[in-house]
A = this chain, B = another copy of it.
Amino acid sequence: MTPPSGPPLGLLLARTSKAVGRAFNAALAESGGSLPIWLVLANLRGSAWPSQLELAHAVGIEGPTLTRHLDGMEAAGLVRRVRDAADRRAFNVELTDAGSALHDRLVEVVIAFNRRLQTGISPAELAALRDVLGRLEANVR
């Protein structure tokens, strides 16, 4: 018999992710980023998206929410919306040089954050964590 230990797992997870999420956001903000900006940048770098909506869902948000972020990012000179020649309803979203540069900086930030986050945690523990996290997500899907 294993007795229940401490707060419910959901609460523990919420608390941890709140703390980690805040620290992550703060780290990104220091370099001029944010979590959604980084997600968009990371999904843009390397992949071409057939539509903004698919990009949005890859990021985990709805279309209008992506529009808002892209508006801000375009105003900041990070991305460009180019009309698709074949289907003039669609846009191809492209990284500008500034967008690529920010992406590169944020990658460094993410790597450093990751290193800090993982301090004192063994590779085996990390692998187990990844595995269990994946199963938790599947359990609520």
Binding site for B on A (CB under 8 A): 2, 5-6, 8-21, 23-24, 35, 60, 110-111, 113-114, 116-121, 123, 125-130, 132-137, 139-141
Q: Quick one: given A21-B14, A21-B17, A129-B9, are A136 and B113 in contact (CB under 8 Å)?
A: no
Q: How many copies does the complex hold?
A: 2
B140 pairs with A121, CB closer than 8 A: no
Interface centre among A19, A111, A141 (most CB of B within 10 A): A19
CB closest chain-B residue, reference A123: B2
Q: Which 4 A-B pairs have the closest CB atoms?
A: A17-B17, A23-B140, A2-B123, A16-B133
| Chain B: minimal CB distance from A46 (Å) | 13
> Which of B10, B24, B113, B125 is the one whose CB lies under 8 Å from A113?
B10
Q: Quick one: given A14-B24, A15-B60, are A121 and B135 in contact (CB under 8 Å)?
A: yes
Taking A9-B117, A12-B130 as known contacts, 11 extra A-B pairs with beta carbons closer than 8 A to each other, sorted by chain A number, are A2-B127, A10-B113, A14-B21, A15-B137, A16-B137, A17-B17, A116-B139, A120-B135, A121-B136, A128-B129, A128-B132
